[in-house]
Homo-oligomer: A and B are copies of this chain.
Amino acid sequence: MLKFQSQPQSPHTPRSTKTSIMIIGGAEDKIHGREILQTFFKRSGGKEAKLGIIPSASREPLLVGDRYRTIFTDMGAKDIMVFDIRDRESASASQWQTFLEECTGVFMTGGDQLRLCGLLADTPVMETVRKKAQAGQITLAGTSAGAAVMGEYMIAGGGSGESPNRSLVDVTTGLAIVPELLVDQHFHNRNRMARLISAISAYSDRIGIGIDEDTCAIVEGDGLLSVIGKGTVTIVDPGNLLFNNEHIVGATDPLSICNLKVHILCHGGHYNMHSREIIIDPGQTGN
């Protein structure tokens, strides 16, 4: 068994000049070290950053948008626009597209993921954001509800305190920015393991990731997922699923789901989403 002996210093260590998709578990530090928000700022170009903030998940988009505007202004961003989109019609406005042409980073705030998808799924502005993020032309970050929407399928809500069962989680369609992931957030903080397992039993061709608060999974174009922040990223890989009674039991019956591979990664941990393997840095020694 190998054990971490040091913080990894490998070619995979997040680099400030690389664009990426940042999936944040909510409640990221906004006051002290601001590690995750600083990383977003740096990856978006630092002082040269031209940032779009999408607060549409929130029912108080101006308030939430301004909070992030202030933070990134303090960091020194060159230009910031809050995309205050409150209905689907406004999502077609040309001003967003014009701004996105030169934009280097987009940040989606928390709120309600159903609201965010309802307002923005399949709109011109979100299509441009998705394509640019997937092409590595911008850094795209989402926190809480903004993280939930990253997969093709999205956990819209659910419960805890029960055995995994189908009624414990509501899964709907997300924004398909990183289609292969099924994301949950505020993860261990809100005891969401059973609901993520319930979801993955129905979508066993996906990878479940549960992201804790003030923690971020950084996804890069080559399928590398890296962890930064205070908590952990839990990866639930059903790739070797042995059996699963998901299709035959009633909605509230407990699920059987066997041979899940589970990894819990803290700051500095790396995972290859393509090979579905943990990456162990050469600097780490075993015992």
Q: Which residues of A contact B (CB under 8 A)?
A: 1-5, 160-164, 188-191, 193-194, 197, 204, 212, 215, 230-232, 236, 241-249, 253-267, 269, 278, 280, 284, 286
Contacts and interface: CB of A to CB of B under 8 A. Distances in A.
A266 B256 contact: yes
- Among A230, A246, A262, A284, max chain B CB count under 10 A is at A262
Nearest to A162: B188
A2 B242 contact: yes
Nearest to A6: B248
A264 B164 contact: yes
This protein's copies in its complex: 2
Nearest to A25: B163
A260 B259 contact: no
Contacts of A242: 1-2, 263, 278, 280
- Among A212, A249, A258, A263, max chain B CB count under 10 A is at A258
Contacts of A254: 212, 230-232, 264, 266-267
Given A193-B194, A263-B258, A204 B1 contact: yes
